[in-house]
């Protein structure tokens, strides 16, 4: 069992990993593209805020990478896009204006999921956790201070995503890997006992930043 850990945003990520874990990667939650006309069909009045449900996102949505959004929005880096997402209430920031302009001409396009791990990358993460033969996964969440275990084949991705209303940490029975959502962010942190976490990321084509000794949470989110 691995309890959820609160990371200090002002300290290097790698220096805060639980015992045994040697590497980490910041996984970027994809943006969401729904089918053309989807929002119009759902909206009951012009002022209604619409966001896809888990089922709608999972069954109808298409994940859009940060890299693609950057290339089409005049933003220059992951850092600038992260700033834009973190300043959604500050419409005066240059980063926000660039992202808002992109969204304006791209209907049925939505921001990534916040706080919890994105449904679009969850299946890949489960494959990683089970890649060394694990069948049982353990979870811990800090909101209600609950934890437990489940057989990976006994739960759907939607059920796993809803184990916690916000952040949680999930690890395999051998604690070879773990992943955790980060509160008030659009990222998930993947932890590994292996030092070659980059190979693991590439094998499943996940969009990520590999942590080095100088990687801080506050340098990205």
pLDDT in tens, 79-131: 899 988 887 766 678 888 889 888 888 889 999 998 889 999 999 999 999 99
Q: Which two tokens stand for residue 197?
A: 């976490």
Quick check: 48 pLDDT over 90? Answer: no
- Give pLDDT tens digits for 193-202: 998 899 999 9
- Give pLDDT tens digits for 22-39: 999 999 999 999 999 999
Angle, CA of 119, 124 and 130, to the nearest 5°: 120
**HSE of 131, CA atoms in CB hemisphere, 13 A:** 19
Task: Tell me which residue of 218, 214, 202, 207 sits closest to 27, measured CA to CA.
Answer: 207
pLDDT at residue 221, rounded to an integer: 58
Residue carrying structure tokens 């006309």:
37
Phi, psi of 198, rounded to the nearest 5 degrees: -60, -40
Residue pair 167/10 in contact by the 8 Å Cβ criterion: no
Q: Which two tokens stand for residue 27?
A: 């996984």
List of E strands, 45-197: 62-64, 109-110, 136-141, 146-151, 169-172, 177-181, 187-192
pLDDT at residue 86, rounded to an integer: 83
pLDDT at residue 150, rounded to an integer: 94
pLDDT at residue 135, rounded to an integer: 93
Percent of the chain with pLDDT over 70: 96
pLDDT at residue 56, rounded to an integer: 96
pLDDT at residue 91, rounded to an integer: 65
pLDDT at residue 92, rounded to an integer: 72
Q: Which two tokens stand for residue 50?
A: 């619409």
Sign, CA dihedral 189-58-185-27, equals positive
Measure the CA–CA gap between 47 and 49, rounded to whole angstroms: 6
pLDDT at residue 175, rounded to an integer: 94
- Give pLDDT tens digits for 63-93: 999 999 999 998 999 989 998 888 776 667 8
């Amino acid at each position: 069992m691995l309890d959820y850990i609160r990371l200090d945003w002002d300290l290097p990520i790698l220096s805060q990993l639980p015992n045994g874990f040697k590497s980490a990667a910041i996984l970027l939650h994809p943006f969401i593209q729904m089918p053309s006309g989807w929002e119009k069909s759902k909206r009951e009045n012009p002022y209604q805020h619409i966001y896809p449900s888990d089922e709608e996102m999972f069954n109808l949505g298409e994940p859009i990478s940060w890299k693609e959004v950057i290339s089409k929005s005049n933003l220059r880096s992951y850092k600038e896009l992260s700033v834009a997402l973190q300043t959604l209430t500050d419409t005066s920031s240059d980063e926000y204006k660039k992202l808002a302009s992109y969204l304006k001409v791209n209907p049925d396009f939505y921001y990534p999921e916040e706080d919890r791990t994105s449904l679009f990358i969850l299946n890949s993460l489960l494959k990683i956790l089970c890649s060394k033969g694990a069948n049982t996964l353990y979870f811990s969440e800090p909101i209600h201070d609950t934890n437990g275990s489940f057989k990976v084949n006994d739960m759907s991705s939607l059920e796993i995503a809803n184990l916690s209303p916000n952040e949680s940490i999930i690890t395999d029975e051998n604690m070879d890997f773990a992943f955790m959502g980060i509160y008030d962010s659009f990222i998930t942190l993947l932890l590994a006992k292996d030092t070659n976490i980059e190979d693991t990321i590439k094998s499943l084509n996940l969009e990520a930043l590999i942590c080095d000794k100088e990687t801080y949470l506050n340098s990205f989110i």
